[in-house]
């Protein structure tokens, strides 16, 4: 009687199957490797994009101009200094170019805020400018403004054959420039006091002197309001 076969054991060495790795495991590992490669490429591309963006930002930051409108805190002392300059006839643009002064944008923002103390100072200074511009217009009209016309000519000396240059300076009264200065001040006066200096002025012999009233009101108000 032949011995019984053990369960799970091959009947003979010749009939035994040779073990091979599963094809399913091989396919799964291949897919994982491909996914890993794809993810690595995506990360590399993303890092490259971020590095490019950072490099562009650094270049833009380096080439960026300095702050155009630096902030200057308002104080009563600063307001009084600007007030005196405005009364002297110096414009906001010129004041902004001086050392220690706020930018013109900052001052215009202060003027546009009715609750800001500088807004009141600016209005008072403008009222005082009425009297100043009236005086300046009279002075500009009465006093000549001398300018120069410089003419340069080149010619050949007939004796030596050398190039010679002659300069002629002619002085004259710059009437057109004086007219422009007066017209500019008149334009400002027509807006500050239209009833007196506007195109449709309404002069009245018994009417109160608006110029003096505005001057006294501005002086009484002072730069601290």
Assign residue 215 the CATH number of its domain: 1.10.10.60
pLDDT at 186: 79
Within a domain: 154: yes
pLDDT at 206: 45
Within a domain: 46: no
Range of the domain at 84: 76-203+210-221
For 74, residues 6+ apart whose C-beta sits below 8 A from its C-beta are 102, 110, 116, 117, 118
pLDDT at 220: 61
pLDDT at 81: 92
pLDDT at 131: 79
The total number of structural domains in the chain stands at 1
Within a domain: 3: no
Within a domain: 62: no
Q: What is the torsional sign of CA 178, 180, 184, 189?
A: positive
pLDDT at 205: 42
Query: How far apart are the C-alpha atoms of 215 and 19, rounded to whole Å?
Result: 113
Within a domain: 47: no
Within a domain: 16: no
pLDDT at 26: 54
Residue 116, burial from CB neighbour count under 10 angstroms (0-12, 13-18, 19+):
middle
Q: How many CB atoms lie within 10 A of CB 198?
A: 14
Per run of 10 residues, the mean pLDDT along the chain (length 225 residues) is 52 53 57 77 80 78 59 86 89 89 90 91 85 80 83 84 85 84 79 67 53 58 56
């Amino acid at each position: 009687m032949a011995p019984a076969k053990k369960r799970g054991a091959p009947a003979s060495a010749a009939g035994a199957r040779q073990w091979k790795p599963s094809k399913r495991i091989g396919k799964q590992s291949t897919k994982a490797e491909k996914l890993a490669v794809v993810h690595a490429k995506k990360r590399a591309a993303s890092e490259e994009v971020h590095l490019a963006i950072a490099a562009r930002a650094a270049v833009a930051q380096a080439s960026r101009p300095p702050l155009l409108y630096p902030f200057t805190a308002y104080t009563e002392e600063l307001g009084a200094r600007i007030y005196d300059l405005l009364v002297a006839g110096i414009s906001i643009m010129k004041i902004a170019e001086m050392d220690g002064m706020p930018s013109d944008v900052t001052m215009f923002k202060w003027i546009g805020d009715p609750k800001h103390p500088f807004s009141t100072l600016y209005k008072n200074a403008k009222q005082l400018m009425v009297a100043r511009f009236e005086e300046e217009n009279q002075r500009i009209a009465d006093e000549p403004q001398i300018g120069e016309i410089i003419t340069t000519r080149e010619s050949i000396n007939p004796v030596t054959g050398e190039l010679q240059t002659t300069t002629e300076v002619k002085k004259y009264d710059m009437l057109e420039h004086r007219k422009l200065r007066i017209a500019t001040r008149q334009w400002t006066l027509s807006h500050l006091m239209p009833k007196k200096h506007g195109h449709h002025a309404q002069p009245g012999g018994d009417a109160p002197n608006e110029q003096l009233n505005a001057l006294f009101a501005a002086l009484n108000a002072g730069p601290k309001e």
